[in-house]
Chains A and B, each alone.
Chain A
């Protein structure tokens, strides 16, 4: 079972994502700010991070940078209400950019796509 780390400062969003992603079959870990996100990424070893950008204190982009420094290969999906960061070069380091929506379909599909690909890679390297 894959572990997904959800970082978002809004409680309701965390609750919703946890519920839905658990339903998808993932093990969900939550963080409510950037610092927690970095900590969780180290102690929970997530297979994927869903990162909100606008958080109080350190923002998601920087947090993402720190996490990637430590673990270069973790896929990061940026998830935010703003669509304007899509073209910021900082976000190019992310694997995907999904705009927050009440319809979680796109987010779920993106996560699945990335994790499936990784699985395939893992399997192939294993062979």
Chain B
């Protein structure tokens, strides 16, 4: 390395002095300015005149800035302190030691000092404690405003991005919309995020905005408590903050939460008060869907005066959240403690945070809709399945029915011959008692077969029913009268519940008899040793509902599905057709017969029939038979 000759040194100094953005001030041992460079004169005109005390001027001009932490949770309240010595750069208590930063007006400068002595310039560490009297000091102030801003912006963006990433992770993981929004609010208020003081989430429902969640301290004392606690714990993620503070309820922002819940804004009234196409205030924000800052003392904010009063602050940021074009909620944030203004950058960041909240809301709405659809589909599927089963059943019956009908008929005719002839033989005198007996038995057995065929034919080839209007209560009473003796003998308590007003239905009275008899008989048979028999009739919409319940043995679950099947019986000697015929008869009249679950009765049958008045109104045509007189009359004419 060649040594610099004096001329070079001069040129260098000349160049640096003229071109740099560095203010250089040379100060003598007495603290007086000896020389200042051009930049200094331009930047600080008339401030460092030769012969004047450097220190005085310096103190007037500059304010020492706190060490800006690259990564720490120190609260805003802590980082102010007195200036320190101007000669040595201050070592800050954070990992990255920084030079002293000072601020004058809007600009920030990095201050360094170098001791100029006969041995050359010594600065920084070298100068530590080694100044000697007579040394001159060169003070340097480098304009780092731009750099600082970039750095600040960088870290800010980093924090925001980190928070957002955390929020996205949580959005993916958690289905709880409540949790997601909560964490978003934590992001808005945490130093790791936007660092605003307070945030509220209000949900839009039924034309009202109702506060749901509020985070942040409600007064400076609470703030100090909370923020220093947070600093102590040194959380490294939003989730940690959320879990430890919010969920654990350690330091909960109870009052802020209470305040949140007390917020209740009528959107209709708000819109009315704001008039058509509002552009300012809360109404304006909601109408345009854009995040806005509201100031208490701006004109046109009277409508929001109430809000400002409740929040006890004079500036808020309002971010509307919309889902599918409809207002779903609003996030409101403020700096009620530090009273620092909310910047445009804040607002933009809020917009992004709010977008995630809207996503969470949308997702939960979609999820709810999905659940609803799934439920409906499931129901529809079940209905379909049961209809399918019914159809299958009907088809089976039909096929079986046709077969049975032809078989039955083929059997019946020979039976008439067999039984008829046997009986006919009995008409003649027969001495042998055994022969008489045998002939008698033949007749009996044939009759038994005929009865069986009769029931079969009746079932599978339904007789065209004689549908007339029947008085339900009358039929019920008649049926109960028939069984009166048995009811008494079995020690059964009869509970009837029939309405005063007459109930009419259209059904073949024989079939109704058959059905009622079947139900009552089954009930009585189930209560050999007493019990209660319930017979209740009521109107329900378009139908008459008859319920027959008993406290007897009950029908085992495995068997319940089959009781209406033809030929299914649990009784020895039963045909298994009683309920099947009853069910079909009722179906043929537009009703249904089914089992119902009831607490008080082991078995409860429910018979549903359309009401006569409904059928008459709807003009349903029913076959009505003519009386025998009419037929006869026609014959005679």
Q: Which residues of A contact B (CB under 8 A)?
A: 10, 12-13, 15-16, 19-20, 23, 81-84, 86-88, 92-93, 100-104
Contacts and interface: CB of A to CB of B under 8 A. Distances in A.
24 contacts: A10-B413, A13-B417, A16-B420, A20-B420, A20-B427, A23-B424, A81-B409, A81-B412, A81-B416, A83-B454, A84-B463, A87-B464, A87-B466, A87-B623, A87-B625, A92-B634, A100-B416, A101-B447, A101-B450, A102-B415, A102-B416, A103-B419, A103-B443, A104-B420
Contacts of B219: none
Given A16-B424, A84-B461, A102-B420, A92 B413 contact: no
B423 A104 contact: yes
Contacts of B423: 102-104
B413 A103 contact: no
Q: Which of A19, A82, A88, A101 has the most CB of B within 10 A?
A: A101
Interface of B: 409, 412-424, 427, 443, 446-447, 450, 454, 457-458, 461, 463-464, 466, 623, 625-626, 631, 634-635
A92 B420 contact: no
B417 A19 contact: no
B419 A102 contact: yes
A73 B597 CA distance: 60
A59 B634 CA distance: 23
Given A82-B457, A92-B626, A101-B450, 11 more contacts: A12-B421, A20-B420, A83-B457, A83-B463, A84-B463, A86-B463, A101-B416, A102-B417, A102-B418, A102-B443, A102-B447
Contacts of B625: 87
Contacts of A15: 417
B463 A100 contact: no
A86 B458 CA distance: 12
Contacts of B422: 102
B538 to A, nearest CB: 32
A49 to B, nearest CB: 15
A93 B417 contact: no
Given A102-B423, A103-B447, A16 B409 contact: no
Given A19-B424, A23-B427, A12 B414 contact: yes
Nearest to A93: B635
Nearest to B425: A19
B122 to A, nearest CB: 127
A111 B520 CA distance: 38
Contacts of A102: 415-420, 422-423, 443, 446-447, 450
Contact of B417 (A10, A82, A84, A103): A10
Nearest to A105: B423
Contacts of B409: 81-82
Contacts of A23: 424, 427
Contacts of B631: 92-93
Q: Which of A10, A101, A102, A104 has the most CB of B within 10 A?
A: A102
